[in-house]
Amino acid sequence: MCIVNLLEEETTVEATQATPVKYDMEVVRWFTIAAAIYAVVGTLVGVIVASELAWPFLNLDIPYITFGRLRPLHTNAVIFAFGGCVLFATGFYMVQRTCAKKLWSNGLAWFTFAGWNLIIVCAVLALPLGFSSGKEYAELPWIVDLMIAVVWLSFGLNHIMTVAIRKTSHIYVSNWFTMSMIVMITYLHVVNSMAIPVSLTNGLSMYAGVQDAMVQWWWGHNAVGFYLTAGFLAIMYYFVPKQSGRPVFSYRLSVLHFWALTFGYVWLGSHHLQYTALPDWTGSLGAAVSMAMIIPSWGGAMNGMMTLSGAWDKLRTDYILRFLVVALAFYAMSTFEGPVMSLKSVNALSHYTDWTVGHVHSGALGWTAMVAYGALYHMVKKLWGVDKMYSESLVNVHFWMATIGTVIYVVALWVSGIMQGLMWRDYDEYGTLTYTFVESVSAMHPYYVMRMVGGLIFTIGAAIALFNIVMTVSQASAKRASGAVPAKA
Residue 286 binds another protein, judged by CB under 8 A: yes
| CA–CA distance, 47 with 50 (Å, rounded to integer) | 5
Residue 134 binds another protein, judged by CB under 8 A: yes
Site for another protein in 215-254 (CB under 8 A): 215-216, 218, 226, 251-252
Site for another protein in 67-86 (CB under 8 A): 67-69, 71-72
> Strand, coil or helix: what is 353?
coil
Residue 462 binds another protein, judged by CB under 8 A: no
Residue 356 binds another protein, judged by CB under 8 A: yes
The angle formed by the CA atoms of residues 99, 102 and 108, to the nearest 5 degrees, is 120
Residue 425 binds another protein, judged by CB under 8 A: yes
Nearest C-alpha neighbor of 79 from the set 206, 250, 213, 226: 226
Residue 118 binds another protein, judged by CB under 8 A: no
Q: Which is nearer to another protein, 26 or 280 (CB)?
A: 280
- Cα-trace Rg, the chain: 23
Q: Which of 52, 145, 318, 337 binds another protein (CB under 8 A)?
A: 52
| CA–CA distance, 424 with 334 (Å, rounded to integer) | 25
In the complex, least distance from residue 484 CB atom to another protein, rounded to whole angstroms: 39
Binding letters toward another protein, positions 427-456, x by CB under 8 A: x----xx---xxx-xx-----x--------
Q: Which is nearer to another protein, 134 or 400 (CB)?
A: 134
Q: Please enumerate in sequence order all residues whose Cβ is within 8 A of that of 122, keeping only pairs 6 or more positions apart, or say none.
A: 140, 144, 147
Q: Please enumerate in sequence order all residues whose Cβ is within 8 A of that of 488, keeping only pairs 6 or more positions apart, or say none.
A: 385
Q: Which of 15, 19, 61, 430 binds another protein (CB under 8 A)?
A: 61
Q: b/e string for 368-401 if b means 16 or more Cβ within 10 A?
A: bbbbbbbbbbbbbbebbebeebbeeebbebbbeb
3-state secondary structure 258-304: HHHHHHHHHHHHHHHHCCCCCCHHHHHHHHHHHHHCHHHHHHHHHHH
Residue 212 binds another protein, judged by CB under 8 A: yes
Site for another protein in 251-280 (CB under 8 A): 251-252, 255, 259, 262-270, 272, 275-280
Q: Which is nearer to another protein, 387 or 428 (CB)?
A: 428
Site for another protein in 6-45 (CB under 8 A): 9
In the complex, least distance from residue 379 CB atom to another protein, rounded to whole angstroms: 25
Do residues 341 and 359 touch, judged by C-beta distance below 8 A?
yes
In the complex, least distance from residue 270 CB atom to another protein, rounded to whole angstroms: 5
| CA–CA distance, 421 with 264 (Å, rounded to integer) | 29
In the complex, least distance from residue 441 CB atom to another protein, rounded to whole angstroms: 5
Residue 345 binds another protein, judged by CB under 8 A: no
Amino acid letter at 347?
N
Residue 289 binds another protein, judged by CB under 8 A: yes
Binding letters toward another protein, positions 166-205, x by CB under 8 A: x--xxx----x--xx--xx--x---x----xxxx--xxxx
